[in-house]
Copies of this chain bind each other. A is one copy, B any other.
Amino acid sequence: MTAKTNRAYTELEARARRISALGDGLGILAWDQEVMMPDGASPGRAMQMATMAKVIHEFETDPEWRALLDAAEGESLDEWQAANVREMRHDYAHATALPPELVEPMQHARSECARTWRKARPANDWKAVVPALSKLVDFAREAAKAKADGLGLPLYDALVDQYDPGRKSAQIDALFDELARELPALLKEVLEVQSKGPAPLALTGEFSVERQRRLGEEIMRILLFDFHQGRFDVSAHPFSGGATGDRRITTRYDETDFTKALMGTIHETGHSQYESGLPEAWAYQPVGRSRGMTLHESQSLLFEMQAARSREFISFLAPIARAELAGEGDGWDTENLTRLYQRVEPSLIRVDADEVTYPLHVMLRYRLEKALIEGEIEVGDLPAAWNEAMEDLLGIRPPSDADGVMQDVHWYEGIFGYFPTYTLGAMTAAQIFTALRRDVPDVLAKIEHGDWAPLLGWLRENVHGLGCRFTPDGLIEHATGAPLTAAPFLAHLRRRYLSDAA
């Protein structure tokens, strides 16, 4: 039917399907690279992936898109089809915004800088990365300029738009400013409350990889992960990846501490469940994709922070963890495990931070990278600016650049505009979970008994199954009844770390 009446639209779908299927192939190659590939195969894999990326880019930038998009908008489309065309237009605008002659040198500068950083960070050698990073920042500014011109956006917003379409820095500023006003005082209060209670008892033992893997798998099954269409493996850096109908998450194990791998597994399961719940009817189409990185992070953080670090889930988890890990001695009770999983402590490293201090790490990066892209500061200014901001926001000063400005790979891979999505995701998670609890009041009681079906069912209906039917903000409003604000997140922190903990 569509084929007869909507010729341009039908052709667009065929083109999108091809690009998406190639992207899925690339997803499996990327997974294999991190999980299975022998070390010596890196050059070949780089060749395969660069070639596929180039072919995809050629398909994405085919000049015929423009006329087809215009023609399709004159055809009779339903709401999903119209949203699909909107997403295609957005993809096309991003794919064609960069001058072709910029693509390869920029990719080269990225590889170069990341390689330099991998050696320089362990050596705490900031000077070593300055030339490569400066070059990369120049490219990033040039790319931001080109994208800003092409998309009609402010410089930095044009970069954010790649990860979180439609997100504006004016909105981020307002949200982050509110956090900046509230969080430092809140943190102080939390630390006071905690100092009055008992300190958490570390759970020590020899937690073999095999036991931890079994525990992780058991919990993934509780979280309704579908192993018929998924895998669970090990990689140096945990991630959620794979392809349509083939969800693969990874973790890494520390045989002296099981808590990180376990919570990391829950986090990645949240990402993975989002992908699994995308609308099947729109698979391989832009409108069938996940709704950007803020929404993606909201789903992993809803699983991890809102649901799994709740006292309710921990009371379900504690006896299972003890049994699977043959835990002996004190501290395997709900009270202590909750204290372990809800501990707040200002620290140097973002990826190890708790949910109260994490936004401060992100704000710091957001402000610096925005100033960097807008030319207000230069690469040489970063270490001092970083250390001052750390002192200012968290009250600690990094003893080294390795644990300061050099700790994250993002900038050294040329990724600017991504950091805010972590904290926007945390706020979104709180707002969505608040709406979920309003609609399903016993959701935490169910989770306390290992029943995640009500939680997942609500997310499938109100978030996952909607793909890119709405914009990110539109989806949040559709799911929660209100635009994104910081209030639910701050309320969540106050409840968990002040009222409930007091």
Contact = CB atoms under 8 A, between A and B. Distances in A.
Interface of A: 17-18, 21-22, 24-26, 28-29, 32, 36-41, 43-45, 47-52, 54-55, 226-231, 243-246, 284
A17 B48 CA distance: 10
Nearest to A42: B245
Contact of A246 (B18, B37, B52, B231): B37
A51 B28 contact: no
Contacts of A229: 38, 40-41
A226 B40 contact: yes
Given A28-B48, A40-B228, 5 more contacts: A21-B51, A32-B36, A38-B230, A40-B245, A48-B243
Nearest to A25: B48
B22 A55 contact: yes
Contacts of A37: 246
Number of identical protomers: 2
Given A18-B51, A48-B28, A245 B284 contact: no
A17 B36 CA distance: 24
Contact of A21 (B18, B24, B25, B47): B47
Contacts of A54: 18
A229 to B, nearest CB: 4
Q: Which of A28, A32, A43, A49 has the most CB of B within 10 A?
A: A28
Main secondary structure, interface of A, reads helix
B32 A28 contact: yes
28 contacts: A18-B54, A21-B52, A22-B48, A22-B51, A22-B52, A22-B55, A24-B47, A25-B49, A25-B51, A28-B28, A28-B48, A29-B29, A32-B36, A36-B36, A38-B227, A38-B228, A38-B229, A38-B230, A38-B231, A39-B228, A40-B246, A41-B243, A43-B245, A44-B244, A44-B246, A47-B244, A47-B284, A55-B55
A18 B25 CA distance: 16
Nearest to A26: B25
A52 B38 contact: no
Nearest to A52: B25
A24 B39 contact: no
A22 B47 CA distance: 9
The 9 closest A-B pairs by CB, nearest first: A41-B246, A40-B229, A21-B51, A40-B228, A44-B245, A25-B48, A44-B244, A24-B48, A21-B47
- Give the residue among A45, A47, A230 with the most B Cβ atoms within 10 A: A47
A37 B284 CA distance: 19
Report which residue of A25, A26, A45, A244 has the largest number of chain B beta carbons within 10 angstroms of its beta carbon. Answer: A25
A36 B231 contact: yes
A475 to B, nearest CB: 25
A141 to B, nearest CB: 31
